Amino acid sequence: MHIDSYFSISNSNFDEAEYVIFGIPYDATQSFRSGSRFAPNAIREASWNLESYSLYFDFDLSYAKIFDAGNINTDCSFEEIIHRTSDFLTRKEFFPVALGGEHTVSYACVKDLRDFCYLTFDAHLDLRNEFDGNKFNHACTVRRVYEKYETGEVERIVQIGVRSGTSEEREFARRRGIEIYYSWDILEGGIDWILKRLEPYDRIYISLDMDVFDPAFAPGVSAPEPFGLHPIHFLRLIDEISDRIVGFDVVEVIPDGEKITQMLAAKIVGEVISAVHSSI
Ligand code: MN
Ligand code: MN
């Protein structure tokens, strides 16, 4: 057995697991740089460099029941991936930790979810209605989730760390009640002031597009964007809302040669589970 074929903190089986890690290695629409289909396994490999004890949360992950279920088979259309993902997510109750893949896979993860705030960390607005003639493109992820907001299935959409998009996307967000927090405001004033805006929501799903971080911290992403967040901003925020997080995905990692980006993603997976479990 290769030790890097599953996540280092996987210590349970599917039936007993409270936290299930799974990969969706799909990157068919990635335009600038592709390769995020290799991310789930690269993040797993990097995870073997992690301690199971989180100093930040004073929590040892061996006390949480965690299972790495492997990857969803993505050798099919995106519509079929949505179907396979929702099949998997409805098999039993668990806290899902999805490893992308491009950002599009986040839509598959929340498709059947109701009554939650969709909180994205992303450099980009991802609000285009379609891109390259495709509605299920990584640049359209939040727009697809917005359709669930229109029907009342999503309570609110909040985007943190934004610093790239079109004026049409910005205007769309402004008119349709999508909340945007720009990276420069967070870099100057920290992230704690945003907590107040999240107070109304009891159930928060987090989608982490790794390009929200500055390329200095996460060089291995599909669309690197300067002026990004520090990973500590993310950690601070999840610490404060940890009792309300209902699911998590980390997307858009393109494994880099120095293993910096996949290491950060693996570390964050451990910290998210530590945050959620130590808040129970
Ligand atoms: Mn994105
Ligand atoms: Mn992005």
Inside any domain, residue 72: yes
Inside any domain, residue 239: yes
State how far the Cα of 116 lies from the Cα of 103, in Å rounded to an integer.
19
Categorize the per-residue pLDDT at 276 as very low, low, confident or very high, splitting at 50, 70 and 90.
very high
Inside any domain, residue 115: yes
Inside any domain, residue 1: no
How, if at all, do strands 59-60 and 95-100 pair? unpaired
Indicate whether 1 pLDDT > 80.
Answer: no
pLDDT in tens, 47-89: 999 999 999 999 999 999 999 999 999 999 999 999 999 999 9
Inside any domain, residue 270: yes
State how far the Cα of 184 lies from the Cα of 3, in Å rounded to an integer.
40
Q: Which residues contact 33 (CB under 8 A, 6 or more apart)?
A: 221, 222, 223, 254
Residue 173 DSSP label: H
* Among 235, 217, 219, CA closest to 271: 235
Inside any domain, residue 181: yes
% of the chain beyond a pLDDT of 70: 99
- Matching residue, tokens 């991310």: 39
pLDDT in tens, 101-127: 999 999 999 999 999 999 999 999 999
Contact at 8 Å (CB) between 239 and 149?
Answer: no
Lowest mean pLDDT among 133-137, 168-172, 189-193, 212-216: 133-137
Residue numbers of the domain that contains 24: 19-278
Inside any domain, residue 186: yes
Please tell me the total count of domains within the chain: 1
> Ligand 2 being an ion, which residues bring their Cβ within 5 A of it?
122-124, 209, 211
Residue 187 Cα to ligand 1 midpoint, Å, equals 20
Nearest ligand, measured from the Cα of 251:
1
Contact at 8 Å (CB) between 220 and 259?
Answer: no
Residue 129 Cα to ligand 2 midpoint, Å, equals 16
* Among 197, 245, 251, CA closest to 223: 251
The CATH number given to whatever domain includes residue 62 is: 3.40.800.10
Nearest ligand, measured from the Cα of 161:
2
Q: How far is CA 177 from the centre of its chain?
A: 22
Per the document, the length of the chain is 280
- Matching residue, tokens 């107070």: 199
Inside any domain, residue 255: yes
